Structure 1
Amino acid sequence: MTSRADGNLWRASSAVHVEAPPLRADADADLVIIGGGFTGNAAALEAARRGASVIVLEAESVGHGGSGRNVGLVNAGLWLPPNDVVAQMGKEAGQKLIGLLADAPRLVWSLIERENIGCEATPNGTLHLAHSAAGLRNLEERHRQGVELGAPVQLLDAAETARRTGSRAFYGSLFDPRAGTIQPLSYARGLVCAAIRAGARLHEQTAVSRVERVGDHWQVMANGHTVRAGSLLLATNAYFNGIDIAVRPQFVAVNYCQFATAPMPKPLRAEILSGGEGCWDTALVMSSFRTDREGRMILGGIGDAGGRGAAVHAGWARRKLRQVYPQLAGLTFEYSWHGRIAMTSDHIPKIVRLGPSAYACFGYSGRGIGPGTVFGTRVAASLLDGCENGLPVAPVDNHRERLTAVRAVYYESGAVLVHALTGA
């Protein structure tokens, strides 16, 4: 496998660039945001456009975490079917979240258009692929639930799925025309560039060491300096790095790896995902498929491509590509990268109160783009307005997850085992 740049296709191909200096002096703001990903950058943009003074502190570079390692699927809703969301949250709260996230792609597309973000936006829908007969039955039920809620989803048979994907490996699919794909790192960078144009300040290479409430404001210590702010948003998601803070986000970290081929020949580009849809399958250890603007096939799956099972995951990717797209068997993988997903036990995102006028948002369970944009935008409004009614989920004073390290090992071990045995 050839390796380019740092191995991450999105870093190599991003058309949006942003550079910001580290924090080098004490500062004051209305809102301080920790984390330069989808959630933090969407919050910064909303707050800055409302006239607030905003400071974003990013430990590495914008999009360094899950936002810049994402598959790039702009999905409507959560990974859970709607009825499961209602069962977890109750009817009123569940339907509120379902409605907001059903509209998440529209928000993403509108921000991209309004701020002229060059992120390969392709609002051509997504295909949830049935990997087996049981998977097709799952999609039939998801289709039924979606139609009941007024979602414009369409159940496609195996022949139509084969026509759209260019593969006969699937039993059918669920098409969602609201959704689509983007270059995720460019989107994350584009959001913060728009926030900067609106007056926000960004500091990269600024790792926060301590957060505390002092009197009527928050103090955030980083690089030996202090940022004082009336409001605080912790938006590190799965990349929380041990900040000294009274309430810490709890989640299970799950790795997801991706492999991108060389660009496909033009005849194959006209045959494989020619409509530009993004795809993922119904397997318990799921796989994803999409193309980029250059016609690369990007194959993803659960697993840590930089860990002890790296060789297993890479071998699986080569076999899986041959299985699903035998016409691409001769293409080499040019890029390989991985990132962390923050999972919660119930697969529902969380908003945790850190204290007065302060929240942490996390736990999108692999759906970072739409939910991250919605949560960031609405949390910013809530912090500035002092009203929680518009939040996507009711905030809690704490959220606990049990055996997080053990469960993380379990997920990775399961992915290694499945990838060792499948995709042949």
Structure 2
Amino acid sequence: MNAVVRQEAHGASLWHAISRSPRERPALHGEIDVDLAIVGGGFSGLSTALHAAGKGISVAVLEAEIIAWGATGRNAGFVVPNFAKMDPDSILAHLGPERGERLIDFAAGSADLVFGLIRQHGIDCDAVQSGWIQPAHSAAAFEKVQSRAQQWALRGRPAVTLDRQEVEALTGARGYVGGWMDRSGGVINPVAYARGLADAAERAGARIFERTRVTSVDRMGDGWSLKTPSGSVRAAKVLIATNAYGGPLFQTLQRTYFPLKVFQIATRPLPLETRARLLPGGQGVGDTRRNLFTFRFDADNRLISGGMHILSAGADTRVPQTIWRRLAEHLDLPDLPPLAYSWSGMAAVEPDFLPHILDLGPGLIAGRACNGRGIAMTTAMGKVLADWAAGTDAGDLPLPFAPPAPIPFHALLRHAPNMLLGWSILRDRMDETA
């Protein structure tokens, strides 16, 4: 198979390239006063702005670049209403029954919230809510996903176990032992979704400023003062919603997560006869391998997949080609169309793989909820953070709330997810031959 693939738009997110031209928003000039200032124009910031403005709270969103510039516009567009590593039973053991059940309920309805907002606000983002599928690459993995599906089903979620034949029929991929599906999951165009959230937030009364980088956040009386190059904001409460794109604003935050660079690719559109065999129902797929294999289609039949890298040298060229070859191999596509787009983004991975709210001071918090589940979890986080903005104590929200806890030896361990990738690939192969 020819591994040399053509890249028509290397470095540009597919979603930025195919979405309608964004409506330009002004930078902040001068001074304003609001109830809530939000730093970051991604899913969590925009969802918080929308829900808070709907409660009559005055809101200003300060985005350093443009809406959906960071991880929000650089993911694969999967809407997944569960946790990357933790199942309901393990969450209960980790957090206890009361807080654990609240977090489980928070996640369970997260995909329904996303697609409900899309319908409510008429957001045109190629949304397909036909399910998210997790095929099992080994017998041991299949045992785990059977338990996972049962745990979610017992809580009333549309989760079903799939046998080998059902996985092949739904995905077109051969070689899996079985799997499970949450029918409330799905796929979207994340950039179009984020821009739709921004439009809806503004209609609700929120103010959004682009190309407005916050340079400092300082306590002032009973509130906070946020400085930007051409203005300032006085706010009673502040949400830091930058995830892995926070920069030097709060350096302590950078030491509380593992930064993970993830690559995505999109091929040219597949022929209709080939497309009919793969994902005929339009679901998204993310399997159980440690070296995660994902795939989905966009509205124009481009095949999309992602992956990580071990070494940074030459990664921007090398990794997309590796993902393309893996896609062709796993889906038995010797004539896979050439690569058309490749891009990358940074994710924030928590040590426990759970969403968190971090206490930075009176009325000053940071929210992180990605861990590979950004669209669903951050949208849901925005809804509960609007409750905090309206007066609910942060400790009463369904998410873990505590001061930042820097990871010991973070300077050495921050690259651990990438450096361990080679060992993960070897373990995956061992699982498959066991």
Q: Is the 8 A contact 1:211 1:245 kept in 2?
A: no
1:242 CA displacement: 0.8
Give the letter for the 2:50 counterpart: L
Distance across 2 between alignment mates of 1:343 and 1:298 = 22
1:402 CA displacement: 2.4
1:358 CA displacement: 2.1
Q: Tell me the equivalent position of 1:111.
A: 117
Q: Tell me the equivalent position of 2:172.
A: 166
Q: Tell me the equivalent position of 2:9.
A: 4
Range 16-25 or range 411-420, more displaced: 411-420
Distance 1:136 1:421, change over 3 A: closer
Q: Tell me the equivalent position of 1:66.
A: 71
Distance 1:267 1:246, change over 3 A: closer
Q: Tell me the equivalent position of 1:332.
A: 338
Distance across 2 between alignment mates of 1:398 and 1:330 = 46
Distance across 1 between alignment mates of 2:253 and 2:417 = 26
2:157 corresponds to 1:138? no
Distance across 2 between alignment mates of 1:7 and 1:304 = 22
Range 393-402 or range 178-187, more displaced: 393-402
Distance across 2 between alignment mates of 1:48 and 1:244 = 26
Distance across 1 between alignment mates of 2:238 and 2:70 = 20
1:322 CA displacement: 2.0
Give the letter for the 1:262 counterpart: R
Q: Is the 8 A contact 1:305 1:314 kept in 2?
A: no
Distance 1:313 1:246, change over 3 A: closer
Q: Is the 8 A contact 1:378 1:390 kept in 2?
A: no
Give me the TM-score of the superposition, normalised by structure 2: 0.91
Distance across 2 between alignment mates of 1:115 and 1:203 = 21
Distance across 2 between alignment mates of 1:234 and 1:48 = 17
Give the letter for the 1:15 counterpart: R
- Which of 253, 256, 260 is 2:262 aligned to? 256
Q: Tell me the equivalent position of 1:200.
A: 206
Q: Tell me the equivalent position of 1:361.
A: 367
1:149 CA displacement: 2.6
Q: Is the 8 A contact 1:29 1:229 kept in 2?
A: yes
Q: Tell me the equivalent position of 1:44.
A: 49
Give me the TM-score of the superposition, normalised by structure 1: 0.93
Equivalent residue pairs, number = 423
1:416 CA displacement: 5.9
1:314 CA displacement: 2.7
Write out aligned runs for 1:282-301 (5 A). Answer: 282-301=288-307
1:228 CA displacement: 0.5
Distance across 2 between alignment mates of 1:115 and 1:45 = 11
Q: Secondary structure at the match of 1:208?
A: coil
Distance across 1 between alignment mates of 2:351 and 2:43 = 22
Q: Tell me the equivalent position of 1:183.
A: 189
Give the letter for the 1:288 counterpart: T
RMSD, matched Cα? 2.3
Distance across 1 between alignment mates of 2:71 and 2:310 = 13
Distance 1:85 1:244, change over 3 A: closer
Q: Give CA-to-partner distance per residue, 1:333-353, whole Å, 9 cap, x none.
A: 100011111111111111012
Q: Is the 8 A contact 1:167 1:324 kept in 2?
A: yes
Q: Is the 8 A contact 1:344 1:401 kept in 2?
A: no
Distance across 1 between alignment mates of 2:92 and 2:309 = 30
Q: Give CA-to-partner distance per residue, 1:44-94, whole Å, 9 cap, x none.
A: 001111222211001111111111112211111211211221222112111
Write out aligned runs for 1:391-402 (5 A). Answer: 391-402=397-408
Distance across 1 between alignment mates of 2:41 and 2:214 = 12
In structure 2, list runs of 5 or more residues that go unmatched: 1-5, 430-434
Distance across 2 between alignment mates of 1:277 and 1:305 = 32
Q: Secondary structure at the match of 2:365?
A: strand
Write out aligned runs for 1:69-108 (5 A). Answer: 69-79=74-84, 80-108=86-114
1:17 CA displacement: 2.4
Q: Give CA-to-partner distance per residue, 1:100-120, whole Å, 9 cap, x none.
A: 110111111111111111111
In structure 1, list runs of 5 or more residues that go unmatched: none
Give the letter for the 2:398 counterpart: P
Q: Tell me the equivalent position of 1:32.
A: 37
Distance across 2 between alignment mates of 1:149 and 1:164 = 24
Q: Tell me the equivalent position of 1:227.
A: 233
Give the letter for the 1:27 counterpart: I
1:194 CA displacement: 0.6
Write out aligned runs for 1:240-319 (5 A). Answer: 240-243=246-249, 250-303=256-309, 308-319=314-325
Q: Secondary structure at the match of 1:21?
A: coil
Write out aligned runs for 1:353-392 (5 A). Answer: 353-388=359-394, 391-392=397-398
Give the letter for the 1:45 counterpart: L
